[in-house]
């Protein structure tokens, strides 16, 4: 890790910006490849109709999202150099605590932000572009309005400022975030049958959970867990009695 830290401290900003853009493009391609692989592998467990052909608008928003994610990474570098963001170097069991803390902090904050984004005065400007794609595909994870991308980025940087994690805990969280984002937009259900009834694990969001949010946008606002939807009564029912592979209902218009 030492050589990477030295590089981050000394690299010219223009080169850091280019490297972050390259990293985000690579991550985007990897996420799409993994997502499409899962869609093919679990094609027998489709939960939403096949998405319509790709639109130009969709591709432009996804490309903008990748560029803006790089801007957020760049802002993170500046905050780290200014010592607003700090991270620890240990790689022991405390890393797992960091991971759980980051997931829970982001899950709570993103639930609140997601509900606010559904308020009528913000929805059209901020969140509607994502909901335009009712029948999601892996690319839909990146189809967000630019303001929304920056909002999520600011939230993540705020959590990094508030909580001094290990670098490995942050890395694990970011990998988990991308994975769960891809899983949420597959349109097929890779989680095992009956997952929703498993203790503890059943409280983790499945693909069906987020697919239902795309269809009925007044429920299932959580990202990683069902905790906040259960607490605030926004969980689409009957969630626990549903088989995870049951087809989701038609969109409400
Ligand atoms: Zn979505
Ligand atoms: Zn939404």
pLDDT tens figures, 62-87: 999 999 999 999 999 999 999 999 99
Query: Residues 173, 106: contact at Cβ < 8 Å?
Result: yes
Q: Is residue 79 part of a domain?
A: yes
CA distances from 210 to 22, 106, 116, 214 (A): 29, 16, 17, 7
With respect to residue 48, please indicate whether it lies within any of the assigned structural domains. Answer: yes
Q: Is 153 part of any domain?
A: yes
Q: Is 90 exceeded by the pLDDT of residue 2?
A: no
Q: How confident is residue 239, by pLDDT bands cut at 50, 70 and 90?
A: low
**Is residue 217 within a helix (H) or strand (E), and if so which, with residue range?**
none
**Out of 162-166, 212-216, 220-224, which region has the weakest mean confidence (pLDDT)?**
212-216
- 214 CA to middle of ligand 1, Å? 6
Is the predicted pLDDT of residue 244 greater than 50, yes or no?
A: no
Judged against a pLDDT cut of 80, whether residue 108 lies above it is answered with yes
Query: Which residue in 157, 178, 188, 190 sits closest to 224, CA to CA?
Result: 178
Write out the residue range of the structural domain in which residue 22 sits: 2-191
Q: Do the domain assignments include residue 196?
A: no
**Cβ contacts of 53-56, under 8 Å, gap ≥ 24:** 54/139
Distance 221 CA to ligand 1 centre (A): 10
According to DSSP, residue 204 is labeled B
What distance in angstroms lies between residue 185's CA and the mean position of ligand 1's atoms?
6
Please give the Cα distance from 239 to 206 (Å, whole number): 11
- Separation in Å, CA 63 to CA 24, 88, 139: 10, 32, 10
Provide the pLDDT for residue 202. Answer: 86
* Rounded Cα–Cα distance for residues 40 and 25 (Å): 23
Q: Looking at the domain assignment, is residue 225 inside a domain? A: no
Identify the nearest ligand to the CA of 216 by its number: 2
In a domain, 247, yes or no: no
Token code pair at residue 179: 């994975």
pLDDT of residue 238: 59
Query: Structural domain tally of the chain?
Result: 1
Percent of the chain with pLDDT over 70: 94
Q: Give which of 240, 189, 211 is closest to 219, Cα–Cα.
A: 211
The answer to the question of residue 246 being in a domain is no
Query: Which structure tokens are listed for 60?
Result: 């432009």
Helix runs in the chain, H state only: 2-10, 13-41, 56-81, 94-117, 120-122, 128-131, 146-162, 167-184, 207-215, 227-231
Q: What separation in Å is there between the alpha carbon of 129 and the centre of ligand 1? A: 10
Expressed in angstroms and rounded, the spacing between residue 121 Cα and the centre of ligand 2 is 14
Which pLDDT belongs to residue 185? 97
pLDDT band at 247 (very low <50, low <70, confident <90, very high): very low
Higher pLDDT, 133 or 31: 31
Strand, coil or helix: 92: coil
Evaluate whether residue 36 is within a structural domain: yes
State pTM to two decimals: 0.90
Cβ(227)–Cβ(107) under 8 Å?
A: yes
pLDDT at 191: 92
């Amino acid at each position: 890790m030492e050589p990477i830290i030295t590089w981050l401290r000394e690299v010219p900003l223009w080169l850091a910006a280019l490297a972050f853009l390259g990293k985000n493009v690579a991550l985007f391609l990897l996420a799409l490849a993994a997502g499409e692989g899962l869609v093919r592998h679990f094609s027998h467990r489709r939960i939403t109709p096949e998405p319509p052909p790709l639109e130009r608008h969709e591709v432009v928003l996804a490309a903008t999202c990748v560029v803006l994610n790089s801007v957020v990474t760049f802002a993170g570098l500046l905050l780290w150099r200014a010592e607003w963001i700090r991270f620890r170097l240990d790689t022991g069991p405390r890393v797992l605590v960091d991971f759980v803390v980051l997931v829970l902090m982001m899950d709570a904050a993103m639930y609140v932000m997601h509900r606010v984004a559904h308020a009528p005065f913000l929805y059209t400007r901020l969140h509607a572009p994502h909901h335009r794609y009712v029948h999601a595909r892996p690319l839909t994870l990146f189809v967000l309005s630019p303001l929304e991308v920056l909002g999520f980025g600011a939230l993540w940087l705020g959590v990094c400022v508030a909580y001094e994690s290990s670098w490995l805990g942050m890395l694990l969280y970011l990998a988990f975030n991308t994975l769960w984002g891809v899983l949420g937009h597959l349109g097929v259900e890779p989680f095992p049958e009956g997952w929703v009834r498993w203790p503890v694990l059943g409280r983790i969001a499945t693909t069906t959970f987020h697919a239902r949010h795309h269809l009925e946008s007044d429920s299932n606002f959580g990202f990683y867990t069902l905790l906040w939807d259960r607490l605030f009564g926004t969980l689409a029912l009957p969630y626990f009695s549903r088989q995870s592979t049951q087809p989701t209902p038609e969109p409400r218009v």
